[in-house]
Each structure stands twice: as structure tokens, then as C-alpha cells.
Amino acid sequence: MVIEGTREPKVPSILRSLLLDSEKGILQSGFHEGSIITKLNDGHKSILFSDTIDISEDLSKLDGLKIGMDGNLAFSEKGEMEISKEEILYSVKIDNEIVKTFDKERFNTSFPDITTFLHTSCLYHYSTISPVNHLDFVKGEILSHPVALLLHDGILVGDRAVIDDKGYPVFYNSFLVQRSESYRPEESLSITYEPIFRMNIHFFKWIIILGAEMLK
């Protein structure tokens, strides 16, 4: 029996997924497990992937994969990290159902027409100082393990991608993290599964293809 007025308020699922957002003052202290993506507050450079994150008022600790851009070169590195709250733009936990669907729909990397890079490489980088655009060189190929940072700090993680005839990236079996400028916490973020996602290249900050050395 529930007495009227004592029922706990239902927390929107997106708020349970948003672990930390430095701009909106959201911080869920404690140890979190799952598929976690952390966007660093470093000028559109880096993203962290981890299975856990331990968040406190001062530091966040994780053991995972860091990828991003250093000038016109892509980088990827694994290891333990300690990051201050000010260094993190936001950290989210991807919904378990999205992760299950993503894993279920993964393409077999032994398929002969899949292109897997040996080392992590930059496919595209929007920059006035060190731009990169290799889209024409891989047009029509099926590229394995693409990750993209969108303008306005959205993140797109795919199982595979193809550059179509118009030069637009098409991501297959992917999930998309998007932020909005809303100050309502429940409207500040969306996480969706995208079977096929196509977008004009002008909305991308960078596209990186993870190398085989990072997938072992």
C-alpha cells in the first residue's frame, strides 16, 4: 500500500544516464559501472571510453581508452586516469538496451570487404590550423570502428561507416549522444540508437577510425 504523497518522484532515465555535466552543475558522486563515455573539456580534442568511473567532488578515476586529436594526428591510449571535475565537460552511461542492440548488430570483422586500420587514424578533422580530409581516399569502403565528435560536442560511435558518393559519412549500427542548450536537466541530453545515420560532413568536428591495436 502506498500512502498518497509518500511516493518517490520518478527520475527521468536521462538523468540517471548523465553522471556529470560541468556546465549544468550535475554530479552523481560514487562508483558507476557500464558503458561510459566521457567528453573532456579540452577544446573538442578528446573522448574517454571506460567500463567504470569513480566520481567525487574533486577527482574522477577511471581505467579506459582515450582517443582524440593532437594537431592533425589522431591518438589513442589506454590506461588509468585521474581527472578533475573542471577537466570534464560531461560523462554519460549508455543505456543497457542500446548497448545490447549495438553488440547484437555488430558486423563480423573477418568479412572480406571490411577495412580495419592497423593504427588509429584520422579520417576527417575540421580545423583552420591543421585540417585533415581523407574522405575521397576511402569513398565506398566499409570502415570498421569509426568514432566521431560532432559540432556542439555530440558524440557518434559506430560499428562501421561508409563515405557515400556525395562525400557524406554514413554510420551503421551506432549510438548518438547529443547535447542541447536547454537548462532543464531532463532536456539537456539525448542518447539514441541509430541503425543508419547520415549527416553532412560540415557538422563533424572530427572522425577517427580506431586501429586494431586498440581493439585487442
Q: Give me 165's grid cell.
A: 558518393
Q: What tens-digit pLDDT sequence spans the chain (216 residues)?
A: 333 444 443 434 566 788 998 888 888 999 999 999 999 998 878 999 999 999 998 889 999 999 999 988 999 999 999 999 889 999 999 999 999 999 888 865 555 455 566 678 999 999 888 899 999 989 988 898 999 999 888 999 999 999 999 999 999 999 999 877 665 655 678 899 999 999 999 999 999 998 865 554
Q: In which element (H, E) is residue 76 found?
A: strand 73-84
Residue range 13-94 forms a domain whose CATH class is mainly beta
- Please indicate whether the domains covering 13-94 and 96-214 agree at the CATH topology level: yes
User: What residue spans of 38-181 are helical by DSSP H?
Assistant: 96-104
d(Cα 156, Cα 204) in Å, to the nearest integer? Answer: 10
CATH 2.30.30.100 at 96-214, yes or no: yes
Strands 142-144 vs 114-115: parallel, antiparallel or unpaired: parallel
Residue ranges covered by each domain of the chain: 13-94, 96-214
pTM: predicted TM-score of the whole model, two decimal places: 0.85
Strand partners, 91: 20, 38
